Every structure is written in structure tokens, then in C-alpha cells.
Amino acid sequence: MRKILLSIICLSLSVLAISQTASECFEAGNSKLSLHDYVGAITDFTKAIELYPENPFPYHLRGISKMALDDNIGAMLDYSKAIELNPENDRYYFYRGLVKSSLKDYMGAIADYTKAIELNPKNADAVYYYSRGLIKPLLKDYMGAIADFTKAIELNPKNANYYYNRGMSKVDLEDKIGAMLDYSKAIELNPKDDGCYFCRGLVKSSLKDYRGAINDYNEAIELNPKDADYYYQRALSKLSLDQKNSGCLDLSKAGELGNVEAYDIIKKYCQ
């Protein structure tokens, strides 16, 4: 009996030692991950997994490290293992959804995002809905995307990206006024985003508000003077207002920056 008790004590101490070593490897990996040393982090998380393979969290963080190195297949295997060990953790499904999205497995990504939401419906992160919303337009589900972006906005109304992407889906459904309102809100929240001004300018152009469009293109160019499309679209709006000289100068600048179509317009209107 004494020998059995001693054996149990020795076994317990051995397990504790292994557990502590696994914990040390995990902490080392976590530190390296925070320093963007992804290769070193993967090495430490792998050691932690070897020592304590029943813990899903090192698989999760190793998956994040692999994603940072564009090893999406390896990351997906790690997230799948984490899910196998703990199928009730919504985060694991969310991250696997991100990987599937990167691999263009859009239906698989939607399934994982949906599962993440189902596991935590009352406290689901806004980014779950947002990420699912980003996939749906790729499948032509614009109404579904708008619904997801709207839910994300309800959960976090201060994120400009949510309004911007909802605006893009509204454009796809020809809801130009709704899109313009969303772009305006995105600009209010993040006035340094040149893309928001540009997209709002496109909507204004389509509504024949060329002066308003030019104002938005001006803002976009001020924030990012290296984008050829900004000059090209401003040129088209100027030409619509018979501002030929200024419009042709914008076309020339667009051409310099790589917009080949600008030269076709120059041949037609600027000779």
C-alpha cells in the first residue's frame, strides 16, 4: 500500500512538472507572439503541445502565428484541433473562419462565423457579424451583408469600417442615398480615410452632383495624392461641368500614375 501511495505521489509530481514546463513553453510562445517573432512562437507552442496535448489554447495561438506567416493550411489544422478539444469556444470557429476566407472557402467561412455567433448569441462580438458580412457580397448576397453590417453597427456604432462596407453593399443594391449616408457616417467617424471620400464621390457623380463629387475627390486626393483613380474620376466630373482644361490636367496626372484609360479620354476630349 505504501509503495502504491509513493507511486501515486511520484506520478502526480511528474505530471505537475510536465504541466509547469508546458506552461513555461506557452508563456514563452505568448511573449514571442506579442513581439511578432512568429517562428519562435510556433516553436514554443509546439513544445507546449507536445508536453500537454489536451490543452486547446496553444493550438489556437500557434494557428494565429501561422496565419501571420501565411501558412493558412497549417493554421486551419490547428484551429480544427482546438475545436476538437473544445467545441464550445466561439473564438476558435471565428479564427478558422478567417483562415477559410483567406483560402476562398467562402461557404466554409460563413458556416464557421455562424457557428461562432450561435455559440455566443447574447455576447457575440461585432466582428463576427462584420466578418460574415464581408463574405456575403462575394456570393452576391448583398441584403444578407447589409443585415450583418447593421448588426455589427448595433453592437459597435463607433467603427467606421462597418458603415463603409454597408455603404458598398447598398451601392450594389442601387440604394445610392442610403450608401451616401453610410459613407458620410464613416467619414464622420474617420475623417482621414480617403477611400470613404472617394466612394461618396462616386455616388454623388452617379446622382449628377458633380460639384459635390469633385469636393469629395479633392479630399481623397489631399489624403492620398498617389491614387490614379482619384484624379481620373475627378476629371470625369470636371468634364461633365465643361471644365475642360482642369479635367484634362487631371487625366494627364491619372495617366502618369498608371491609369491607362485616362489616355483614351484625353484623345477624345483633350485634343
* Domain closes at, from 62, 79, 100: 100
Residue 148 has pLDDT above 70, yes or no: yes
pLDDT at 271: 85
Q: Tell me, what's the pLDDT at 167?
A: 98
Of 61, 81, 100, the one marking the end of a domain is: 100
Task: Please tell me the predicted confidence (pLDDT) of residue 6.
Answer: 35
Distance of CA 51 to the CA centre of its chain: 34
Percent of residues, the chain, with pLDDT higher than 70? 93
Query: Cα separation of 94 and 152, whole Å?
Result: 15
Residue 181 in domain? no
Q: Please, are residues 254 and 262 in contact by the beta-carbon 8 Å criterion?
A: yes
Q: Give me the pLDDT at residue 121, please.
A: 87
More confident residue, 153 or 15: 153
Least confident of 96-100, 119-123, 190-194: 119-123
Domain assignment present for 256? yes
Cell numbers for 224: 492620398
Residue 224 lies in a domain: yes
Tell me the average pLDDT across 142-170: 98
Q: Is 45 among the domain residues? A: yes
Where among 71, 100, 129 does a domain terminate?
100
Question: Looking at residue 253, which CATH number applies to its domain?
Answer: 1.25.40.10
- Tell me if 72 is assigned to some domain: yes
> Dihedrals φ, ψ of 113, to 5°?
-65, -40
Q: Identify the pLDDT of residue 124.
A: 84
Evaluate whether residue 144 is within a structural domain: no
Cβ-Cβ contacts under 8 Å for 31 (sequence gap 6 or more): none
Task: Return mean pLDDT, the chain.
Answer: 92
User: What residue spans of the chain are helical by DSSP H?
Assistant: 2-34, 38-51, 56-68, 72-85, 90-102, 106-119, 126-135, 142-155, 160-172, 176-189, 194-206, 210-223, 228-240, 244-256, 261-269
Torsion of CA 71, 76, 79, 83, to 10 degrees: -170
Cell of 89: 469556444
Tens-digit pLDDT profile for residues 5-53:
334 323 333 333 444 588 889 898 889 999 999 999 999 999 999 999 9
**Where in the sequence is the domain holding 70, given as residue range(s)?**
26-100
pLDDT at 1: 42
Encode pLDDT of 65-82 as tens digits.
Answer: 999 999 999 999 999 999
Tell me, yes or no, whether 232 lies in a domain: yes
Please count the structural domains in the chain: 2
Q: Does 3 score more than 60 pLDDT?
A: no
Whether 166 maps to a domain, the answer reads: no
pLDDT in tens, 161-204: 999 999 999 999 999 999 999 999 999 999 999 999 999 999 99
